[in-house]
Amino acid sequence: MTACTSSSGSASNAVAPADAGTERVGSAPAPLSATPSGSPPGATPGTKAVERRDIVRTGTLGATVTDLGAAAARVRALVASYGGIGANEELRRSTDQGSSPTDTFTLRVPEARFGAAVEELATVGTVTARTVRAEDVTGQVADTAGRVKTMQASLDRTRALMARAASIEDITRLESELTRREADLEGMQAQLATLRSQAAMSTITFR
């Protein structure tokens, strides 16, 4: 988000062309969903439930504003009204003559309110760049959750073996194995938590 250096020019509402491979927010895709095989769209109650998808949505907005302080305050209030948080804010003021100060926000909002939040953020200033992306991580979440379950079962078996171990040699070996498997499980659980967090709370960079 950049402050205008001159107040004599009229503001333009034109949006810079998006880079190849990006989407305009105005035509952002609706949340993806999958209909189980054999179940037509809009299935009535009693049919199989539509599969829940895990979608990681990210957006970037660039804008110029006339009053950087007022615009920053509005961004903070707006993201709070959507149940989101300001994950990071970075204000830069250059000492070069003629340079404009900039303020960059990293915002997290609930995935279901991502599109509406982006649209309202676009009204804070004159938009100069706008992109959105969506990545379906449903398969990754399911695969990681399955690995966590398998690792937990393996860890439980190792603990059971350790409880029955009779020799110092066996106890030492199983303790080492237990430590390794606990570390592997914690790493996989952290990976799963990150994926679920990214899908639940979308990220918007506003600058």
* 186 in any annotated domain: yes
Backbone angles phi, psi at 51, to 5 degrees: -65, 135
d(CA 183, CA 115): 38
Full pLDDT tens readout for the chain, 207 residues: 777 654 444 333 333 333 434 444 344 444 434 444 444 444 455 545 557 899 999 999 999 999 999 999 999 999 999 999 999 999 888 777 777 889 999 999 999 999 999 999 999 999 999 999 999 999 999 999 999 999 999 999 999 999 999 999 999 999 999 999 999 999 999 999 999 999 999 999 999
Residue-by-residue DSSP string for 60-127: EEEEEES-HHHHHHHHHHHHHHTT-EEEEEEEE---STTPPPEEEEEEEEEGGGHHHHHHHHTTSSEE
Backbone angles phi, psi at 126, to 5 degrees: -90, 115
* 95 in any annotated domain: no
Q: Which residue has the tokens 């302080």?
A: 69
* 29 in any annotated domain: no
* 145 in any annotated domain: yes
d(CA 2, CA 57): 24
Q: Please give the residue range of the domain that contains residue 172.
A: 139-198
As a residue count, the chain comes to 207
Q: Are 105 and 206 a contacting pair, CB within 8 Å?
A: yes
The CA–CA distances, whole Å, from 87 to 19, 93, 189 equal 26, 21, 22
End-to-end CA distance of the chain: 4
Could you tell me the pTM of the whole model? 0.69
* 17 in any annotated domain: no
* 51 in any annotated domain: no
* 172 in any annotated domain: yes
pLDDT of residue 95: 72
Could you give the number of structural domains in the chain?
1
* 175 in any annotated domain: yes
